[in-house]
Structure 1
Amino acid sequence: MGFQHQFAWRLTGTLASPVVEVQSLDPYNPQETFNDKLTILDVKARDAAGRVFQVEIQLSAYADLTARMLYGWADLYRRQLRRGQEYSILKPTYAIWLLDQTLRDDTPAYAHRYRMRDDRGQNLLDHGGIWIFELNKFAVQQVETEQQRWLKFFNEGEHLDDEKLPEWMQTPVMRQAMSTLTAFSEKDRAYHAYQARQEFLRQQRSIQQELEKERAAKEAERQAKEAALQAKEAALAEVARLKALLQQQKDG
């Protein structure tokens, strides 16, 4: 379990106990509609201390994604307790999200850590949190931390030659990660599912861009018509005012 242990530890900076349980749920979770989530990995793990880890690679970002992140974390945290059990048995829960699209347009930062704190930075309870990594913002060339090493692997792993790994991949854990990726790629069904999902993503991005352009064009047209109508109404009102003024002068 060393590979999964190192993965959760390095990304969150949490020195977790050895992972004792790993569950992979719905790899290549398909979209039923355009607005559905598109997820290619959902892994849940528990370490020897009972702490819970969830890892999701999310290819599409949408308006309600942050609400889903918080709901998912809360659900994982809640599921630790069964009826009649004490709150004292609750363990920290860590949700790790790797995003292919931008979630935060207001900052160039690619890593975000959200925990339960007040406005002075004091923890209400140190029971994990939500870690978000926007891979499309990650552009580090020189690896300096283990977190950067993992993020670079997620960005570039599919293009690496497992027989000629770069220097930043020359660690036992990263070689194991590459071996896992290579074994994954050799499974025809999984490989073709991955390729199909990538193509699907490209198509959906293109559709999304076209929809946004169409919405923008319709909105511009609506605003232009509204402005023209307002101008016409203003002109008619001015004509009516002038007529009334002339009539008053005649009557006077």
Structure 2
Amino acid sequence: MKVRRFTLDVLAKLNNESFVNIEIQVQNTYEYEKRCLYYWAKLYEQQLTSGKKYKTLKPAICIHILNFNFFKHKEHFFTKIKTLDIDTKYIFSNDFQLYFLEVPKIPDQYYNELDKWMHFFKGASKETVMAMQTPEIEKAFNTLEYISQDPIARAKYEARRKYELDYNTDMDGAREEGLQIGFTKGFQNGKNEGEQLGFVKGKDEGVQLGFAKGKLEIAKNLLVNHFSIEMISKITDLPISEIEKLKNT
């Protein structure tokens, strides 16, 4: 298990010898999709030590539990990605598997085991957990309760929570400053320096939150500057369909 800023990684090996990496990501980060692919590639590549043959490679499965909306084109919280033939839908290999679970998208009611786990990840109350009648989730909930009673673990949690709050505050300040400098100087005056300052200071996991007003105008400016529709959607939080309409007007 490895903990990073706003990230928890758990590496496991299943009974069928498949390797699974579970990542809990609290905040969005820049170019997250490429990062997911890179982590999967490392998980697969590291199996092939010196002297081993390709046939010894086992499936590498990456599960990403996200506390933010990542796939703008769909409403359901569960996304499964594999390699397949686009025409025939034939799966090329089961060795490549990516799973994404977006916590903010979970339904108010739970209908299956996966829904129940998602409610647990979102912070379900003890009453809700007991009503689920799922022993595995009850065990996980009781384990968390036990850990929370440990004064050392509690102190670490509070310190981490304070760090997260401070970081978000700093990012908000940097975002506002970056947007003001970057978009005012970059897009109004056409200066590369301003554009660079805006993105360097305002990017990472939250640039889109600074666009509460004027999203359409910002999207238009980004289109003029030849940004891709997908990147504009990530920056402005606008749906891809709306950006495509802007492009065609």
TM-score normalized by the length of structure 1: 0.67
| Alignment match, 1:89 | 56
Separation in 2, partners of 1:47, 1:219: 48
Superposition pairs of residues 16-165 of structure 1, within 5 angstroms:
25-27=1-3, 29-30=4-5, 38-39=6-7, 41-120=8-87, 121-138=89-106, 140-157=107-124, 160-161=125-126, 164-165=127-128
Q: Is the 8 A contact 1:92 1:126 kept in 2?
A: yes
Tell me whether 1:186 sits opposite 2:175 in the alignment: no
8 Å contact kept, 1:59–1:201: no
Please state how far the C-alpha of 1:146 moved relative to its aligned partner.
0.9
SS state at 2:51 partner: coil
Unaligned runs of 5+ in 1: 1-24, 31-37, 228-252
Question: How many angstroms does 1:154 deviate by?
Answer: 0.4
Q: Is the 8 A contact 1:115 1:129 kept in 2?
A: yes
Residues in 1 aligned to 2:28 and 2:40: alpha-carbon distance in whole angstroms: 17
Residue equivalent to 1:245: none
Question: Alpha-carbon deviation of 1:213?
Answer: 2.3
Q: How does 1:187-202 map to 2 (within 5 A)?
A: 187-202=150-165
* 1:149 and 1:168 in contact (8 A); partners too: no
Quote the offset at 1:221 in angstroms: 2.8
182-191 or 69-78: which moved more? 182-191
Aligned residue pair count:
189
Deviates more, 1:71-80 or 1:98-107: 98-107
- Residue 17 of structure 2 aligns with an amino acid whose one-letter code is G
Asked if 2 retains the 8 angstrom alpha-carbon contact of 1:135 and 1:151, the reply is yes
1:217 to 180, 204, 221: 180
Q: Secondary structure at the match of 2:24?
A: strand
Partner amino acid, structure 2, of 1:131:
Y
Does the 8 A contact of 1:80 with 1:90 survive in 2? yes
Change (3 A) 1:103 1:205: farther
Cα deviation per residue 1:19-50 (whole Å; 9 max; x = unaligned)? xxxxxx223x24xxxxxxx31x2111111210
Calculate the aligned-residue CA RMSD, in Å. Answer: 2.2
Q: Deviations over 1:81-105 (max 9, x none)?
A: 2212121121112111111223233
Q: Structure 1 residues 169 and 187 mapped into 2: Cα distance closer, same or farther (>3 Å)?
A: farther
Output the CA distance in 2 between the equivalents of 1:210 and 1:26. Answer: 29
CA contact (8 A) 2:129 2:138 kept: no
Letter in 2 for 1:137: K
Using the aligned pairs only, state the percent identity: 24
Deviation at 1:136, TM superposition (A): 2.2
Greater C-alpha Rg = 1
> Does the CA contact (< 8 Å) of 2:129 and 2:137 recur in 1?
no
Q: Once structures 1 and 2 are overlaid, which stretch shifts more, 146-155 or 176-185?
A: 176-185
- Tell whether the 8 Å contact from 2:120 to 2:129 is kept in structure 1 after alignment: no
Partner SS, residue 182 of structure 1: helix
Distance in 2 of aligned mates of 1:73 and 1:167: 35
Aligned partners of 1:210, 1:136: CA distance in 2, in Å? 25
